[in-house]
Amino acid sequence: MTVREGVIGDAFIIVMKNLSEQTELKNMLTMQQEKLMEIQKVAKFDKVMADKELRNKFKEFTIKERSSENFLFLEMVEQYKTISKSKERAVLQKEIIRRHLLPNSPQPLNVSQKILETEYKKIASGYGQLDLFDKLEVVVKGMILDDTFSRFMIERENEESTDTSDSTSSMTNHTNC
């Protein structure tokens, strides 16, 4: 092997290493962007839930979409966590179980049977602890974020763009008169 072949070989190795590092950096950047998008979605969801008007619109949307059970569960859990006395929380705990967690519940949660069974056992054996519904709340919130809430935001964006284009065209028509 000549000196020149050695230099070319070393250069090739350096280029390949740089390409490998570049690919790794791109993958890391993509993962960071996905995390950022998820954080933004959660922030939007929290904003909607904190705003009474937007919350009601979202609730109406879930009813219209026939997917209100998860939303109603989150509302009940939110109410549950605001109750200061464990005895009163235990009463609401039983109501949440009756309404959402039993096989014959009027509004059964739309989660996997395995998760529901595991969490039901823990929740049914508890007595008014503040964190009793935490794991199930995270699962349900994640499902809402990925499905119902995403559709709600798309519908709102479409409505807003339609409203904007309608007002622009009406202003144009008014000016042309």
Task: Check residue 5 and give its pLDDT.
Answer: 65
Take residue 103 and report the two structure tokens written for it: 């096989």
Considering the domain architecture, whether residues 45 and 122 belong to the same structural domain is answered as no
Task: Check residue 4 and give its pLDDT.
Answer: 63
State the residue for tokens 């509302």.
75
Tell whether 171 is covered by a domain.
no
Considering the domain architecture, whether residues 66 and 122 belong to the same structural domain is answered as yes
Task: Check residue 59 and give its pLDDT.
Answer: 97
pTM summary value: 0.74
Considering the domain architecture, whether residues 71 and 39 belong to the same structural domain is answered as no
Considering the domain architecture, whether residues 18 and 69 belong to the same structural domain is answered as no
Task: Check residue 128 and give its pLDDT.
Answer: 86
Considering the domain architecture, whether residues 38 and 58 belong to the same structural domain is answered as no
CATH number for 86: 1.10.167.10
Task: Check residue 25 and give its pLDDT.
Answer: 83
| Cβ–Cβ under 8 Å, residues 96 and 133 | yes
Helix (H, G, I), strand (E, B) or coil at 63: helix
Considering the domain architecture, whether residues 56 and 46 belong to the same structural domain is answered as no
Considering the domain architecture, whether residues 39 and 105 belong to the same structural domain is answered as no
Considering the domain architecture, whether residues 129 and 110 belong to the same structural domain is answered as yes
Task: Check residue 24 and give its pLDDT.
Answer: 87
In the chain, the number of structural domains is: 2
Considering the domain architecture, whether residues 85 and 142 belong to the same structural domain is answered as yes
**Tens digit of pLDDT per residue, the chain (177 long)?**
555 666 677 777 787 778 888 888 888 888 999 888 888 999 999 999 999 999 999 999 999 999 899 999 999 999 999 999 999 999 999 999 999 999 899 999 989 999 999 999 999 999 889 999 999 999 999 999 999 999 999 998 888 887 766 655 555 555 555
Tell whether 78 is covered by a domain.
yes
Tell whether 7 is covered by a domain.
yes
| Cβ–Cβ under 8 Å, residues 77 and 93 | no
Spell 108-122 as b/e; 16+ CB within 10 A means b. Answer: bbbbeeeebeebbee
Residues spanned by the domain of 65: 52-150
Considering the domain architecture, whether residues 5 and 89 belong to the same structural domain is answered as no
Considering the domain architecture, whether residues 32 and 117 belong to the same structural domain is answered as no
Point out the domain boundary residue: 50, 68, 88: 50
Considering the domain architecture, whether residues 61 and 130 belong to the same structural domain is answered as yes
